[in-house]
C-alpha cells in the first residue's frame, strides 16, 4: 500500500480551524455549566423571597434580643460560601468567581457586625455598616459587569 501523502496546507488549516472551534465550544460549555451551577439554589433555611420583610423582621427581633433570623442568615451564607469554594471555575470565570466569593464573605461579615451592633445598640457601628454597604454595592456592580463581559465574549444569553 502506498504511503499517504502529507496533508495540503489547506487541509492543515481546516484541521486547525476545526480543532480551535471544538476548543472554543468546549470552553463555552464549561462557562455555561459554571453559571448554571452557581445560579442553582442552595438548600438554605431562610425564606429570602421578600428581602425587605426579612430585613425588618430580623432587625426587629434582634432589637428584642432574638438573633435567630441573623443566625439563620449567617449559617445559610456559610453554606453558600462552602458551596462556592467547592466549585472549580473555568479559566475565563476565575476573576468573576473570586469576586463572588469575596462578595459572599463580605455579606457574612456585615451580617455578623450588624447583629452585634443591634444587640449592643451601637449606632456608630450601624452607621459604619452603611459605608460598608455602599462598598458592597460596588462589588456587586463589578460582579454584574464581569458576568456580562464573560457572557458577551461567549455569546451567552
Q: What are the tens digits of pLDDT across the range 73-104?
A: 999 999 999 999 999 999 999 999 999 999 99
Q: In the structure grid, which three cell numbers stand for residue 76, read together?
A: 445559610
**What predicted TM-score, i.e. pTM, was given to this entire model?**
0.79
Residue indicated by cell numbers 460598608:
132
**Per-residue pLDDT, 118:** 92
Interval 26-44 mean pLDDT: 88
Q: State the Cα–Cα distance between residues 140 and 103, nearest whole angstrom.
A: 7
DSSP class of residue 93? Answer: G
Q: State the Cα–Cα distance between residues 35 and 151, nearest whole angstrom.
A: 10
Q: In the structure grid, which three cell numbers stand for residue 151, read together?
A: 457572557
Please tell me the number of Cα atoms within 13 Å of 57 on its side-chain side: 13
Amino acid at each position: 500500500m502506498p504511503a499517504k501523502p502529507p496533508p495540503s496546507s489547506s487541509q492543515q488549516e481546516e484541521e486547525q480551524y476545526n480543532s480551535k472551534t471544538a476548543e472554543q465550544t468546549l470552553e463555552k460549555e464549561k462557562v455555561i455549566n459554571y453559571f448554571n451551577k452557581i445560579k442553582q439554589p442552595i438548600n438554605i433555611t431562610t425564606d429570602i423571597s421578600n428581602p425587605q420583610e426579612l430585613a425588618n423582621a430580623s432587625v426587629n427581633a434582634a432589637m428584642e434580643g432574638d438573633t435567630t433570623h441573623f443566625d439563620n442568615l449567617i449559617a445559610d451564607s456559610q453554606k453558600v460560601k462552602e458551596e462556592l469554594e467547592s466549585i472549580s471555575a473555568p479559566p475565563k470565570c476565575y476573576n468573576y468567581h473570586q469576586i463572588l466569593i469575596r462578595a459572599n464573605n463580605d455579606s457574612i461579615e456585615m451580617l455578623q457586625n450588624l447583629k452585634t451592633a443591634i444587640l449592643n445598640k451601637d449606632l456608630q457601628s450601624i452607621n459604619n455598616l452603611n459605608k460598608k454597604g455602599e462598598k458592597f454595592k460596588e462589588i456587586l456592580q463589578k460582579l454584574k459587569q464581569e458576568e456580562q463581559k464573560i457572557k458577551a465574549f461567549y455569546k451567552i444569553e
